[in-house]
């Protein structure tokens, strides 16, 4: 039987299962109540016994004798002759470890010398044994069948502890025929244990190695079995023919209480039975363990632990993998089918549903509870706390949370490392803890939970936390960061430094941890799985690690995109959003910052990567390459009128990946890259698309590394001006439209009653504070729906109007703070700056000045005069879209030609390229602000005569002075249209050689 | 068909350009006419790309390029030879034209580093020298024998070479 690898493998598997339960139970025994202990010990005993029995069957003597010794100790505990204490637990755990080691190389386990551990086990036994029991153990009770002595001795101790009500049988197993019949030893033993107990058992030959040669004569394994079952039922539980079952009577055996010197033999006679030829008695040096069987009612289960999993079944991994692959293929076929489908929609849908469910169910078969990984931790914490002389408690939560098997396996090491760290560096010694008023026992808490398609693992300890000062020092010493960089970092960020490679603030490299190999390896391991690791810490109070992991690896949702002729897949986990820019937006939003292209997306700067260019260049990008790409203009034919990119993220950093087209979203089966290609950074795998062609899956992190794209996007926006949101007043007049106006344009809103409105011709007026105020109804100026009749209205009075007027609204809806993005599409009517979606409604932005101008053109007579002038070219430098529109509209309505740029640097460039008559510039802009711009302009010999007006929201005297000192000719507030227009026309009509004017 | 005996291999011949090559037939799993490849950017030029054969993704080597010829796509006669796993995992080669299976008895094979072997004018010689296991002298032509294993190893070596550049 030793020959059969399958049987050996099964033995190893079952033995390991038993052992893990054993370990848990041993740990549980310490500190359990007496009753609980009793149950635990029983369980322990059975488990160890089971292993011993099978090992005996298979001739694994080392394992057998080790478990035998452990069993001996446990039986003493069970009978109350030995106390459970630390020493016992330690020794038992040590024994477990040794057996595990033996199981690792089970075929050669017999050659391993286990005498040391065995000696210790037996020594403890010797010490603890009460004298009476000791005597009994040394007394053999010789039993026999009808014809001869039992082939092996049984001690009186053993016999006395067997329930008198049980019958004894000698079971003779012929190992050779068992193998032929395909009976498995583990199953046999399980069967026996289900109905009784194995008192003693032995192989009938001396040590041999079956692998060398078959022994002569039949191989027989004899078992002394105690059971309450009657003889006729024994064949059933033992699987033996009745001929191989010999009842053993012990009527007079119990009378044997001989001293070690006297060895009387008690011969017991038996009813007539056929019997097997007698075997040569075998020597057994081991004292046999007692087999007292506790009353059955104590046991909820009859067989140790195997029955915990009733309702479950063991499946070979390769079968599961095959099942997974088939499910994946089915998904692919379904996808193909969906493409080519002409079936009725109903059928298609059902196919779809069933396939999806099948796939999901099969994925679940790979799911295992995270408790499997947690299981090793208590033991580790216990050992560590003893070693480090600390007192540490481990609390685990969420062991039932399930994870894909492969993730679980990869998680074991990082988790272990984190716990080790917590024990070693986190939790303080009892004295330290007492000194700071903490309870002596440190606490490590690990919890797992599901959250939105991810598994979240949180590990906290109440130890000493992270010393940010030490981290700072270490980072300086290692040259990881500079002093000034760290001065800017928050405590959180300083803690994150520990995740960098090579970092370890342990003063000494303990063998437990602190090898300096630490946290970055953990972080990498977790990120390889597609997860993230973050940490936070409070000095003196503890640390907290948070790991998030995806639920499964093999089938992922992704976005398919096209570049040139090729298709690629971007995993959804890396995808944040999709953006498409049209026409002019492309040039206004995308600009070059040094060697990199960036896009302004909602007031943050996103570095851009052109996938097409990346694919062409296998070498990692240098600065030169980046510049080359950035400076290459997009060809009109390529780009067409639109530019599509995906905002992708890696960790917490984002960048934009430009593609030719987005195809769609799909669930794809991830196949690994060919082994020879694994080192290509761009790809994380390949997949087969619905049409049967292979597509490559992009590795976003690889792309980021290859292109060295600057990922510090957040730092760049810090220099941007803080006013990135607009306060906007939302109003309504007629029932169909929603209007919006920048709050800065609003002076006041008055509630007026219908009765107070006076009419003069076709104009309406109202008396407000003694001032006749012209009322504008939007429906008279714009193609919008009229305000419904009502007793009262709201009148919005704009700022900066020379002649008083107000705009009529039926409703004031809200004031919102939004990042403003005006769409510049054609919106009918003069007076509308643009439109944006606010609170899910299209809102039309009003320009009050244009409105009044179209309503009362006479108020603006001088405008005509201005329009007769030659058209001047004005460069407007302004980064906020809203104001750009606003100011541009003022200037263009006067007939000037306006070009806009979004920042100072751009402005400088444009000024150098084309001639302009006037520069109107914002002060607060990214890249180069207004002050810097004007200084550059004044320095430049070609440009320094350019007239320049500063437009700003800043209105203090200091700012004024500064602005003028920097070189601007004038200084205006942004939204004061009339003053601005006047100033502009003044500037333009002046002789350029005149000196600067004061504001 | 001459039965395959221990000393007489059977070789499947194919053409690259005007030259004839051969591979031990026992190394070949199957031959395909597939021509839809997914190019792998950043991979060396000798890799034609990925191809889907019955749900399995295979890596196809462009033998023309590997042997130093200029690439030539979409020949009507081009075929993919897929190798068995023993020769290398999930890979195959793209050739211009499949020839016959012919016996390759030991006595007609000239090893590569024999004096007369060196006389042959081989193009792309450094790659070929590494990949080739001998020259078979057939009645009509000379067949340069290649081995699937060595092609695979060459692939595997490509990236470590690139690293050291």
pLDDT tens for residues B97-126?
999 999 888 888 888 765 554 555 444 457
Percentage of chain A exceeding pLDDT 70: 77
Q: Of the spans A460-464, A887-891, B114-118, which averages the highest pLDDT?
A: A460-464
Angle at which helix A848-855 crosses helix A881-893, to 10 degrees, equals 30
Q: Does B42 sit within 8 Å of A615, measured CB to CB?
A: yes
pLDDT at A273 over 60: no
Please report the pLDDT score of residue A159 as a whole number.
Answer: 67
Strand pairing partners for A534? A546
Please report the pLDDT score of residue A551 as a whole number.
Answer: 62
- Beta-strand ranges (E) seen in A539-602 are 542-550, 555-563, 566-571, 575-582, 590-593, 596-601
A695-715, pLDDT tens digit by residue? 999 988 889 888 888 764 433
Q: Does B36 sit within 8 Å of A693, measured CB to CB?
A: yes
Among A618, A681, A696, whose Cβ lies nearest the Cβ of B38?
Answer: A696
pLDDT at B80 over 80: yes
| Distance in Å, alpha carbon of A674 to nearest chain B alpha carbon | 7
pLDDT at A364 over 60: yes
Contacts of B164 in chain A (CB under 8 A): none
Who wins on pLDDT, A857 or A266?
A: A857
Name the residue in chain A with its Cα closest to that of B151.
Answer: A676
Find the mean pLDDT for residues A265-276. Answer: 35
- Burial class from Cβ neighbours inside 10 Å (0-12, 13-18, 19+) for residue A475 reads buried
The span from the CA of A467 to the CA of A479, in Å, is: 18
> Mean pLDDT across chain B, nearest whole number?
82
pLDDT at A149 over 90: no
pLDDT at A999 over 80: no
Q: For chain A, what is the radius of gyration of the CA atoms?
A: 43
Name the residue in chain A with its Cα closest to that of B58.
Answer: A674
Q: Is A521 strand, coil or helix?
A: helix
Please report the pLDDT score of residue A452 as a whole number.
Answer: 61
The span from the CA of A234 to the CA of A369, in Å, is: 39
Contacts of B90 in chain A (CB under 8 A): 674
Find the mean pLDDT for residues A55-79. Answer: 82
pLDDT at A29 over 70: yes
Least confident span in A81-95, A381-395, A601-615, A813-827: A813-827
Q: Does B3 touch chain A (CB under 8 A)?
A: no
Find the mean pLDDT for residues A632-641. Answer: 63
User: Cβ(A925)–Cβ(A954) under 8 Å?
Assistant: no
Q: Is A942 strand, coil or helix?
A: coil
pLDDT at A655 over 80: yes
Q: Does B52 sit within 8 Å of A692, measured CB to CB?
A: yes
Please report the pLDDT score of residue A286 as a whole number.
Answer: 35
Q: Does A686 sit within 8 Å of B57, measured CB to CB?
A: yes
The span from the CA of A823 to the CA of A734, in Å, is: 22
Please report the pLDDT score of residue B40 as a whole number.
Answer: 94
Among A329, A677, A679, whose Cβ lies nearest the Cβ of B40?
Answer: A677
Q: Of the spans A253-262, A546-555, A732-741, A975-984, which averages the highest pLDDT?
A: A732-741
The span from the CA of A569 to the CA of A572, in Å, is: 9
Q: Does A692 sit within 8 Å of B159, measured CB to CB?
A: no
Least confident span in A198-207, A332-341, A610-619, B22-31: A198-207
Among B40, B57, B158, whose Cβ lies nearest the Cβ of A671?
Answer: B57
* Number of neighbouring beta carbons within 10 Å of residue A206: 9
**How confident is residue B20, by pLDDT bands cut at 50, 70 and 90?**
very high
A563-617, pLDDT tens digit by residue? 999 999 998 888 989 999 888 888 888 887 777 888 888 878 888 999 999 999 8
State how far the alpha carbon of A403 is from the alpha carbons of A364, A448, A544, in Å: 9, 10, 22
Name the residue in chain B with its Cα closest to that of A613.
Answer: B41
pLDDT at A650 over 60: yes
- For tokens 């179209």, the residue is A854
**How confident is residue A821, by pLDDT bands cut at 50, 70 and 90?**
low
Among B39, B50, B159, whose Cβ lies nearest the Cβ of A676?
Answer: B159
The span from the CA of A710 to the CA of A803, in Å, is: 52
Percentage of chain A exceeding pLDDT 90: 7
pLDDT at A224 over 60: yes
ipTM of the complex: 0.88
Window B:25-54, CB contacts with A under 8 Å: 36, 38-43, 47, 49-52
A429-449, pLDDT tens digit by residue? 889 889 888 888 889 999 998
Least confident span in A318-322, A326-330, A994-998: A994-998
pLDDT at A255 over 80: no
Q: Does B59 touch chain A (CB under 8 A)?
A: yes
pLDDT at A958 over 60: yes
Name the residue in chain A with its Cα closest to that of B165.
Answer: A619
Q: Does A329 sit within 8 Å of B55, measured CB to CB?
A: yes
> Mean pLDDT across chain A, nearest whole number?
76
Contacts of B40 in chain A (CB under 8 A): 677, 680, 683, 696
State how far the alpha carbon of B61 is from the alpha carbons of A822, A834, B37, in Å: 53, 57, 11
Q: Does B50 sit within 8 Å of A694, measured CB to CB?
A: yes
**How confident is residue A928, by pLDDT bands cut at 50, 70 and 90?**
confident
- 3-state secondary structure string, A325-357? HHHHHHHHHHHHHHHHCCCCHHHHHHHHHHHHH
Closest CA to A598 of A291, A940, A903: A903
Q: Of the spans A21-25, A176-180, A955-959, A970-974, which averages the highest pLDDT?
A: A21-25
Q: For chain B, what is the radius of gyration of the CA atoms?
A: 16
Please report the pLDDT score of residue A614 as a whole number.
Answer: 92
Least confident span in A253-257, A375-379, A956-960: A253-257
Please report the pLDDT score of residue A856 as a whole number.
Answer: 81
Please report the pLDDT score of residue A151 as a whole number.
Answer: 60
Contacts of B51 in chain A (CB under 8 A): 694
The span from the CA of A69 to the CA of A116, in Å, is: 12
pLDDT at A922 over 50: yes
Find the mean pLDDT for residues A766-792. Answer: 88
Who wins on pLDDT, A335 or A712?
A: A335
Please report the pLDDT score of residue A269 as a whole number.
Answer: 32
Find the mean pLDDT for residues A141-150. Answer: 57
Contacts of B152 in chain A (CB under 8 A): 676
Who wins on pLDDT, A131 or A384?
A: A384
**How confident is residue A935, by pLDDT bands cut at 50, 70 and 90?**
confident
Who wins on pLDDT, A88 or A977?
A: A88
pLDDT at A281 over 50: no
Q: How far apart are the first and last CA of chain B?
A: 49
Who wins on pLDDT, B158 or A808?
A: A808
Q: Of the spans A320-334, A353-367, A664-678, A752-766, which averages the highest pLDDT?
A: A752-766
Contacts of B43 in chain A (CB under 8 A): 677, 680
Q: Does B156 sit within 8 Å of A675, measured CB to CB?
A: yes
Q: Of the spans A73-77, A224-228, A799-803, B80-84, which averages the highest pLDDT?
A: B80-84
Who wins on pLDDT, A651 or B118?
A: A651
- Token reading at A165: 């009500």
Contacts of B47 in chain A (CB under 8 A): 677
């Amino acid at each position: 039987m030793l020959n059969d690898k399958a049987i050996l493998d099964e033995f190893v598997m079952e033995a390991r299962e038993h052992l893990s339960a054993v370990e848990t139970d041993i740990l549980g025994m310490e500190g359990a109540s007496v009753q609980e202990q009793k149950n635990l010990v029983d369980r322990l005993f059975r488990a160890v016994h089971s292993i011993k029995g099978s090992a005996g069957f298979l001739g694994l003597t080392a394992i057998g004798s080790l478990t035998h010794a452990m069993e001996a100790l446990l039986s003493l505990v069970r009978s109350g002759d030995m106390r459970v204490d630390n020493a016992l637990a330690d020794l038992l755990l040590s024994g477990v470890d040794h057996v595990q080691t033996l199981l690792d190389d089970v075929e050669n386990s017999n050659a391993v010398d286990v005498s040391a551990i065995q000696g210790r086990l037996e020594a403890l036994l010797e010490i603890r044994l009460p004298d009476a029991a000791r005597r009994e153990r040394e007394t053999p009770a010789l039993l026999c069948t009808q014809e001869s002595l039992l082939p092996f001795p049984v001690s009186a101790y053993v016999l006395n502890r067997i329930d008198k009500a049980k019958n004894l049988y000698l079971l003779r197993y012929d190992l050779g025929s068992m193998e032929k019949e395909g009976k498995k030893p583990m199953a046999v033993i399980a069967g026996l244990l289900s109905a009784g107990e194995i008192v003693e058992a032995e192989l009938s030959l001396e040590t041999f190695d079956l692998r060398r040669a078959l022994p002569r004569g039949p191989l027989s394994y004899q078992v002394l079995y105690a059971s309450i079952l009657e003889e006729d039922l024994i064949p059933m539980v033992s699987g033996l023919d009745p001929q191989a079952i010999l009842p053993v009577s012990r009527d007079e055996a119990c009378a044997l209480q001989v001293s070690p010197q006297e060895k009387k033999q008690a011969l017991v006679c038996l009813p007539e039975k056929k019997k097997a030829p007698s075997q040569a008695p075998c020597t057994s040096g081991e004292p046999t363990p007692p087999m007292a069987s506790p009353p059955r009612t104590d046991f909820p289960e009859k067989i140790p632990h195997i029955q915990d999993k009733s309702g479950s079944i063991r499946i070979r991994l390769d079968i599961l993998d095959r099942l997974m692959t088939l499910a994946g293929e089915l998904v692919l076929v379904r996808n193909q089918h969906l493409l080519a489908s002409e079936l009725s929609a109903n059928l298609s849908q059902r196919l779809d549903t069933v396939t999806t469910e099948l796939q999901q169910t099969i994925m679940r078969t790979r799911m295992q509870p995270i408790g499997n990984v947690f299981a090793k931790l208590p033991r580790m914490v216990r050992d560590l706390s003893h070693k480090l002389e600390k007192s540490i408690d481990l609390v685990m939560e969420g062991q039932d949370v399930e994870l894909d098997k492969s993730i679980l396996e990869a998680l074991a090491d990082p988790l272990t490392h984190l716990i080790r760290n917590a024990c070693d560096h986190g939790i303080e010694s009892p004295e330290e803890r007492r000194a700071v008023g903490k309870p002596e026992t440190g606490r490590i808490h690990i919890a797992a939970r599901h959250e939105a398609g991810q598994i979240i693992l949180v590990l906290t300890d109440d130890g000493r936390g992270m010393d940010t000062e030490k981290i700072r020092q270490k980072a300086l010493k290692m040259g990881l960061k500079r002093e000034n960089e760290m001065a800017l970092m928050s405590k959180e960020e300083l803690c994150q430094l520990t995740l960098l490679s090579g970092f370890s603030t342990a003063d000494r490299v303990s063998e437990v941890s602190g090898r300096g190999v630490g946290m970055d390896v953990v972080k990498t391991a977790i990120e390889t799985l597609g997860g993230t690791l973050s940490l936070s810490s409070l000095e003196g109070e503890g640390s907290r690690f948070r790991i998030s992991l995806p639920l499964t690896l093999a089938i992922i949702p992704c976005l398919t995109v096209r570049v040139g002729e090729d298709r690629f897949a971007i995993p959804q986990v890396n995808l944040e959003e999709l953006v498409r820019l049209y026409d002019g937006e492309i040039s206004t939003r995308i600009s070059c910052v040094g060697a990199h292209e960036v896009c302004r997306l909602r007031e943050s700067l996103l570095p851009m990567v052109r996938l097409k260019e990346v694919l062409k260049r296998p070498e990692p990008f240098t600065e030169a390459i980046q510049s080359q790409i950035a400076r290459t203009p997009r060809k009109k034919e390529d780009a067409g009128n639109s530019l599509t990119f995906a905002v992708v993220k890696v960790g917490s950093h984002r960048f934009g990946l430009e593609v030719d087209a987005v195809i769609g979203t799909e669930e794809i089966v991830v196949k690994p890259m060919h082994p020879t290609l694994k080192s290509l950074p761009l790809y994380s795998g390949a997949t087969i698309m619905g049409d049967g062609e292979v597509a490559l899956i992009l590795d976003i992190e690889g792309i980021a590394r290859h292109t060295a794209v600057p990922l510090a996007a957040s730092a760049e926006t810090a220099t941007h001006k803080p006013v990135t949101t607009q306060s906007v007043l939302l109003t309504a007049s007629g029932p169909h439209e929603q209007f919006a106006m920048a709050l800065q344009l609003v002076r006041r809103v008055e509630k007026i009653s219908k009765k107070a409105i006076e009419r003069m011709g076709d104009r309406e007026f109202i008396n407000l504070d003694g001032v006749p105020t012209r009322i504008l109804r939007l429906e008279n100026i714009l193609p919008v729906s009229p305000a419904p009749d009502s007793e009262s209205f709201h009148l919005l009075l704009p700022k900066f109007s020379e002649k008083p007027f107000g705009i009529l609204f039926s409703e004031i809806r809200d004031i919102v703070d939004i990042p403003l993005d005006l769409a510049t599409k054609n919106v009918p009517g003069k007076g509308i700056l643009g439109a944006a979606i606010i609170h899910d409604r299209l809102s039309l932005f009003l320009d009050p000045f244009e409105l009044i101008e179209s309503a009362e053109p006479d108020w603006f007579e001088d405008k005509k005069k201005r329009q007769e002038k030659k058209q001047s070219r004005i460069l407007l430098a302004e980064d906020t879209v809203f104001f750009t529109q606003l100011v541009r509209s003022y200037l263009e309505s006067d007939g000037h030609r306006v070009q806009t740029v979004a920042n100072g640097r751009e402005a400088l460039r444009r000024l150098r390229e084309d001639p302009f008559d006037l520069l109107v510039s914002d002060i607060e802009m990214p890249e180069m602000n207004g002050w810097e711009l004007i200084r550059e302009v004044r320095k430049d010999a070609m440009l320094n005569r350019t007239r320049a007006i500063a437009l700003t929201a800043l209105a203090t005297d200091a700012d004024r002075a500064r602005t003028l000192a920097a070189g601007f000719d004038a200084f205006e507030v942004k939204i004061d249209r009339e003053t601005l227009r006047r100033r502009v026309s003044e500037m333009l009509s002046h002789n350029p050689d005149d000196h600067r004017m004061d504001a | 068909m001459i039965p395959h005996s221990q000393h007489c291999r059977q070789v499947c011949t194919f053409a690259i350009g005007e030259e004839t090559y051969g591979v031990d037939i026992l190394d070949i799993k199957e031959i395909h006419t597939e021509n839809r490849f997914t190019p792998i950017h950043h991979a060396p030029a000798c890799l034609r790309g990925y191809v889907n054969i019955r749900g399995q993704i295979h890596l196809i080597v462009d033998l023309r390029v590997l042997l130093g010829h200029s690439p030539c796509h979409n020949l009507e006669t081009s075929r993919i030879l897929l190798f068995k796993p023993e020769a290398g995992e999930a890979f195959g080669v793209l050739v211009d034209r499949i020839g016959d299976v012919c016996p390759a008895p030991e006595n007609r094979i000239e090893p590569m580093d024999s004096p007369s072997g060196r006389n042959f004018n081989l193009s792309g010689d450094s790659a070929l020298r590494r990949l080739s296991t001998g020259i078979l002298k057939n009645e009509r032509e000379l067949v340069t024998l290649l081995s699937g294993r060595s092609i695979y190893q060459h692939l595997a070596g490509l990236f470590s070479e690139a690293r050291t550049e």
